[in-house]
Structure 1
Amino acid sequence: MINATAALGRLANEEHAYEHGHERPLRGYLAAMAVFAGGTGAVAALARMTGRQLPERIALTDVILGGVATHKFARILTKDAVTSPARAPFTQYEEPAGSAELNESPRKDSELRHGIGELVTCPFCLAPWIATGYVATLTFAPRVARAWSAVMTTVAISDALQHVYARIRTE
């Protein structure tokens, strides 16, 4: 039988050794990973129960549009001023970052809030979650997935054109 107290002590020692003098919200990361794995597992179970399967092959256009859409949606969720109320429980406002984006830092009052704060302020970190949702939606509702990716890709192209226009305009 495993001694729970001894096991927790060993885990705490491992965590301390890993951090090497820096605060790292490993328990918050672990919780986020558990949610991701659980959500992915639930979607796979639902697919199996309903007789759906992942597409045998995903079209290159779906990959390209999904990639651009994932990039744009990740920026909106992690940096946009308008979506800051959703991040506020996990972040602290730092400063404007330009182009309607904000710089925020994760709150550090608990490992869970810190870990989630890092996730919701990092477009690179959130992108796999979004891309997984996109592929899952391609499995269950491909028209919805393609419509979403078309909207987000169109917004990304518009944003790029806004930046180009701002640089080349003359008054």
Structure 2
Amino acid sequence: MASERQQPPYSTYAALVGVFAAGMAGVGALATAGGRRPEQLTALDLAVLSAATFKAARTVAHDEVLSFLREPFVQGEAHEGDEKPVETGDARQAIGELLTCSRCIGMWAAAGVIGLHTIAPRSGRLLTWSLAAAGANDFLQAAFSALTAKANEVEERTG
């Protein structure tokens, strides 16, 4: 007997889009009330915000430190970083899909980082540059590991 696949949780998807839109509208209203103008960001700001968003999204979707956030919404235990969302057809599934997809949660992370950067520039810069530096560290660590592995491989071949 073929198992029935749950219908995607469209109503929860719509609710999440609504929450996102309301959050963005709220940030826009606060920015306007505070005289903040996010369009004054520079190319450097965009690069740093991009790196910060990358790191924040990867941390939420894959890192052990935030596995407790993913745990209620995934199959099995949330400690490996490659969990599958539960297929319940309800809000748990939709939230699980959001939290386990770095591209999906990346949009929320970007909105949060740019929102904080706009509303509270000093705190926003502190968080943004910290996350960006951590993201750069991830790339440097990966590059170092790859370079070391390649050097070891060459040494073994010529050895």
Same fold judged by TM-score > 0.5? yes
Q: Matched residues in 2 for 1:130 and 1:85: separation? A: 18
Residue 34 of structure 2 corresponds to residue 51 of structure 1: yes
Alignment of 1:57-72 (within 5 A): 57-72=40-55
Residue 119 of structure 2 corresponds to residue 146 of structure 1: no
Query: Aligned residues: percent identity?
Result: 35
Q: Secondary structure at the match of 2:82?
A: strand
Residue 21 of structure 2 corresponds to residue 42 of structure 1: no
119-128 vs 84-93, greater mean Cα deviation: 84-93
Residue 60 of structure 2 corresponds to residue 77 of structure 1: yes
Number of the residue aligned with 2:99: 120
Number of the residue aligned with 1:168: 147
Residues 119, 46 of structure 1: CA spacing in aligned structure 2 closer, same or farther, 3 A cutoff?
same
Number of the residue aligned with 2:15: 31
Q: Matched residues in 2 for 1:22 and 1:87: separation? A: 20
Number of the residue aligned with 2:134: 155
Q: Matched residues in 1 for 2:126 and 2:76: separation? A: 33
Alignment of 1:123-138 (within 5 A): 123-138=102-117
Q: Matched residues in 1 for 2:28 and 2:78: separation? A: 40
Deviation for aligned residue 1:111: 1.6
Deviation for aligned residue 1:106: 1.1
Task: Give 5+ residue unaligned stretches, structure 1.
Answer: 1-20
The number of residues matched between the two structures is 146
Structure whose residues are more often helix by fraction: 2
Mapped contact 1:94–1:105 kept (Cα < 8 A): no
Task: Give 5+ residue unaligned stretches, structure 2.
Answer: none
